[in-house]
Amino acid sequence: MKSNIFIRFALVLLAAAMLSACFAGCGKKQPEPPKQTSGEVTTSEPTDQTVKDNLPETDMDGFEFVVLNYTDAGHPFSYKTVVLESDQIADADIVGRAIYTRNMQVESRFKCLISEHQEDQTNVRLKNAVMEGSSEYHVALMYEEDRINDVLVNNAIRLFDEVPYINLNQPYWNDSATEVYSYKGYVYAGVGDWCLSMYSKLHAYLFNKQVYNTIPQADDIYDLVRQKEWTLEKMFEIATQYDSFVDGAPESNRYGIVGTSKVHYQLLLTGSGLKYVDNREDGYAFVLGDPNNTPILDKILNLSSQYFYKNTPGYNDGIVVDEFVQGRALMIAGMIITLDSVRDDVQNVGVLPAPLYNEDQDDYHTIAVGGLVTCFPLTLSKTDLNNAGIIVEALCCEAYNKVVPEYKEVLLKARRADSPDDSEMMDILFRTMSLDLGCSTWGRKIRLTLMNNVFNFACNSTASLGSAVIPPYASVFASLNLEEEFQATADGVIARVWALNEAESAGS
């Protein structure tokens, strides 16, 4: 591995020298750059969409920046690639090449090296490294469902307040994640564009355009979205047009919407503006059971119990994917990564956000569940922490400007969802990405309990209408008893804040 690092560092130096030579040979003498600048991204001319990271131009003198990431076996659920060697990139891998180029540009800019160590369980490895006093990793990617909470409560990570140069107000850091992974303003994890994992887990409705075109006098579905008329009732109205009758007779093997209950209901809950958990000034609160939410829950459950086909228990996506690719379903409740499962079988796929509850709602909301979040190990020295902050921030900025656009383009074109309409829908999904602690940190206690005890029962196993019995969900909400879980997360942040205050007092 060390020989590869030396070779790559030589290539980085060569790239930097060639870039300097290019500037010198342009026919006009360039002014001598100052040692410290505003940190502009100098690899391309800025456009209207380009952002700047405003980082200092620092020579890190060959510093090796190591990312702790999952193996493919440890996390096969999302697009987690952040480091690639040139020989790992297939000719057709446009996104992989964009990631590789992004890394090379950051390496050249700061005279550093970016490498990766993979583990099946990054939370276990990070905790062990901290216990050993090791600073071998400079940033870690952590599965959001309880793993990030594990390293927090075991005092293995720093707060983002401690990491210089990280600017969570930049558009390449997700605002919802910053709000969710915090306690009383102290942020302990984030979602930045340097890793595409959470984008790949965005929930959406995919629809078969060829099937949709068979519906008589169908609305322009994209215009419904643009005009904020894509609502719960409208979606189920369209679904019913497809699954109810064919030539005047009921069709037993056609469905308006298919999908696993955990995806379908999560789309409808988040799309309607509902949360499981709210992060308030006074702490965490379970808010789905608020009486004001009852009319929304009732509508979601009643509409789905009449018109929604669910697969068999166990959340096996394969069954509903088969229904969709065989043309027996108009829509599938899926994720961005679901596009991989249907791309070879459905000739023309459209992408839609979760519907609004009604037309009075301000904007769409798109949930992402099951991706990776960013955290910084506790044991980093001051110098390493400075370098880590600069590199992660630069990787996020470069990704926002160049990698994410390529990713969206590839998702659309490779999946034959490449119309301007679909590009606009994809922009809505990415722009409105939100997270919920009831899906992530406490997903097993909250989301899984509600899916097993409420939402699964409100789904039909056949297409017969109105046969489901909706359980009294208020009693399920009351049985959750979340105080201990909420307090454990709060205590993890409080312990770190206390340690910082102690260190500050000792230094003064």
Specify the pLDDT at position 465. Answer: 37
| Contact yes or no for 344/355 (Cβ under 8 A) | no
| Contact yes or no for 149/189 (Cβ under 8 A) | no
Indicate the pTM of the whole model: 0.86
Task: Give CA separation, 80 vs 65, 133, 161, 171, 193, in Å.
Answer: 17, 27, 25, 20, 11
Q: Provide the CATH topology of domain 203-367+441-479.
A: D-Maltodextrin-Binding Protein; domain 2 (3.40.190)
Q: What percent of the chain has pLDDT over 90?
A: 58
State the Cα–Cα distance between residues 297 and 265, nearest whole angstrom: 10
Q: How confident is the model at residue 327 (pLDDT cuts 50, 70, 90)?
A: confident
Average pLDDT over residues 198-205: 95
User: Taking 70 as the threshold, does the pLDDT of residue 20 lie above it?
Assistant: no
Q: How confident is the model at residue 400 (pLDDT cuts 50, 70, 90)?
A: very high
Boundaries of CATH 3.40.190.10 in the chain? Answer: 2-22+54-198+371-411, 203-367+441-479
Phi, psi of 494 (to 5 degrees): -60, -40
User: Taking 80 as the threshold, does the pLDDT of residue 368 lie above it?
Assistant: yes
Q: Per residue in 117-160, pLDDT tens? A: 999 999 999 999 999 999 999 999 999 988 999 999 999 999 99
State the Cα–Cα distance between residues 92 and 79, nearest whole angstrom: 16
Task: Give CA separation, 62 vs 2, 29, 417, in Å.
Answer: 12, 29, 43
Q: Per residue in 49-89, pLDDT tens? A: 789 999 999 999 999 999 999 999 999 989 999 999 888 88
State the Cα–Cα distance between residues 104 and 223, nearest whole angstrom: 41
Task: Give CA separation, 311 vs 264, 308, 429, in Å.
Answer: 11, 10, 25
**Helix axis angle, 232-243 relative to 294-307, nearest 10°?**
10
Q: Provide the CATH topology of domain 2-22+54-198+371-411.
A: D-Maltodextrin-Binding Protein; domain 2 (3.40.190)
| Contact yes or no for 339/345 (Cβ under 8 A) | no
| Across 19-28, 226-235, 429-438, 481-490, least confident range | 19-28
User: Taking 80 as the threshold, does the pLDDT of residue 188 lie above it?
Assistant: yes
Q: Per residue in 289-316, pLDDT tens? A: 999 999 999 899 888 876 666 544 444 5
DSSP 379-404: T--HHHHHHHHHHHHHHHHHIIIIIH
